[in-house]
Amino acid sequence: MKKLMVLLLLSCITLPAWADSIGYTVRNTEIKAKPFSDAATLATLPEKASVTIVQRMGGWVRISSSTGNGWVKMLNLRSSSARTGDSGLQSLFNVGRTGSSGITVATGVRGLSSEDVQNASPNPVEFAKLKNYAVNQNQASQFAQSGKLKSYAVEFVAAQ
Amino acid sequence: MAHYKILIIAASLTLSGCAGMDAQQLMQLGSNMAGKVVAANKPVSEAEEIQIGHGIASNLLGAAPLSTNQRAQSYVNNVGRWVSLHTERPNLPWQFGVLESADLNAFATPGGTIFITKGLLQHLKTESELAGVLAHEMVHVLSKHHLAALQKAANLNIAGDFAGQALNTQNNPLLDKALQAGKEVYARGLDKDDEFEADRKGIVIATRSGYDPFGLPAVLQMLDSANAQDSSLALMFKTHPAPAARLSLLDKIMANNFDGYASPTQTDARFNAAVATLK
């Protein structure tokens, strides 16, 4: 019950990370009642089934589909070939390229192209600012504490 | 000893062809070459690595300046420095910068300078996603991917050519050569395998730091759902393998190994507050 409450609360406050984003399954995928492997299986999606992604929680995403609604493993889904037309990034953030305007930019947003990188000159003024923003290990540890972050011992996973 | 033998043979073979060179000059040549051979086996010092990285960072800041939002800069530095403590090189002078650019991208330079564009930061949803991106970049530093790539690009024997020379920032042709190669490398990107390694190890470093292991995969899903033709993704897509390929790799290695780690929720408010102040 407590878990359910937490879930309900989370679903209210979590940002619509992938609101109405479309994905498709890369293998047969169980739809679970809750975002846990041992939760009840509601239905099974076949490979290449289209789903609407509603929300992410850890390695799970909540989906709706013609087969059923519930939670599926995030890495069972891809989006790329389900994509149709514009992602909306451009219109949403109104990416205004200022072309090869060089080093200093007075106004607005701009991109960062390979030409920009290749033609760049050093910017020691900005580099000095960068150094000033750096924090030390103690500050970072306090920051972690205030976010209730814990360290874990985890080994690297071998390449496959 | 083997090097010596080769030098002696080489010297004997070239003797007839070196009419203008006397024995003493040949000896001198041999000793210079022997010096190079020894130096080439010496790893690049950390000081050199940092200096090259700072030069590249200054160049990248020439392409896009820092965001003037101090809150966001400080926030990203705190997250990044915390994550850096969970790497094998916690004592590098790690520093982090938000670039004033609408593009979606992130960069690492040798010695521990990491950049994320404002555009990418604004597309992230949680501190765990940010930690995942920064951890990916840190692996490039830890594994010295760029150092190796720019050495290859410039045909530069960094250890050999730099050995014994003070790396002055001004009027240093070797540093200039390294930085020029750096521009090429950052415009062209690293090898695919370097990027896959950064994903594979990045998720572990983020998890060690207490973050949701699925932060980086979630960012890759976001990129996978974006339009590859979008101009704000041009450089990132040019310099990285397709997000779907990167997700497939993480799919294989993560399996059920990362299910036991809870997502931190106490970090959501500060993430939203810091990112919301970005205009």
Q: Which helix (H) or strand (E) holds A22?
A: strand A21-25
By Cβ distance, the residue of B77, B104, B235 closest to A134 is B77
Residue A98 within a domain: no
Tokens of B97: 């910068």
Does the beta-carbon distance from B103 to A133 stay under 8 Å? no
Which of the residue ranges A74-88, B88-102, B179-193 would you say has the lowest mean pLDDT? A74-88
CA–CA dist B216, B203 (Å, integer): 7
Mean pLDDT of the region B29-52: 61
Strand partners, A77: A25
List Cα–Cα distances, A27 to A17, A78, B253, in angstroms. Answer: 23, 10, 16
Residue A78 within a domain: yes
- Name which of B61, B46, B52 is nearest B181 in CA terms: B52
If one counts the domains in chain A, the total is 2
Q: Do the bridges between strand A21-25 and strand A77-78 make them parallel or antiparallel, or are there none, so unpaired?
A: antiparallel
Residue A27 within a domain: yes
Q: How far away is chain A from the Cα of B238, in angstroms, using its nearest Cα?
A: 9
Provide the CATH number for the domain around residue A7.
2.30.30.40
Residue A116 within a domain: no
Q: What residues in B contact A90, CB-CB < 8 Å?
A: 227, 230-232
Q: What's the CA angle centered on B134, arms B133 and B135, to 5 degrees?
A: 90
Residue A92 within a domain: no
Phi-psi region of A7 (alpha: psi -120 to 50; beta: other; left: phi over 0): alpha
Q: How many residues does chain B have?
A: 279
- Name which of B41, B187, B263 is nearest A149 in CA terms: B263
Mean pLDDT of the region B89-115: 97
The structure's pTM equals 0.80
Residue matched to tokens 């609604």: A69
Residue A95 within a domain: no
Q: Which residue has better confidence, B162 or B267?
A: B267
pLDDT confidence band for B60 (50 / 70 / 90): very high
pLDDT confidence band for B226 (50 / 70 / 90): confident
Select the residue from B190, B232, B267, B275 to test the A interface by mutation, using most A Cβ atoms within 10 A.
B232
CA–CA dist B195, B217 (Å, integer): 13
Residues 24-43 of B with CB under 8 A from A: none
Whether A55 and A6 map to the same domain: the answer is: yes
Q: How far away is chain B from the Cα of A1, in angstroms, using its nearest Cα?
A: 18
Mean pLDDT of the region B62-83: 97
Does the beta-carbon distance from A123 to B263 stay under 8 Å? no
Residue A112 within a domain: no
Q: What residues in B contact A153, CB-CB < 8 Å?
A: 208
pLDDT digits (tens, 9 = 90+) for A46-67: 999 999 999 999 999 999 999 9
Q: Residue A128 sits in which domain range?
A: 122-146
pLDDT confidence band for A132 (50 / 70 / 90): very high
Which of the residue ranges A32-41, A83-92, A121-130, B248-257 would you say has the lowest mean pLDDT? A83-92
B30 contacts: CB under 8 Å, gap ≥ 6:
B7, B8, B11
Residue A70 has pLDDT above 80, yes or no: yes
Residue B16 has pLDDT above 50, yes or no: no
Residue A96 within a domain: no
B166 contacts: CB under 8 Å, gap ≥ 6:
none
**b vs e for B219-233, b when ≥16 Cβ sit within 10 Å of the residue's Cβ?**
bbbbbbbbbeebbbb
Does the beta-carbon distance from B235 to A114 stay under 8 Å? yes
Per-residue pLDDT, B177: 84
Per-residue pLDDT, B169: 55
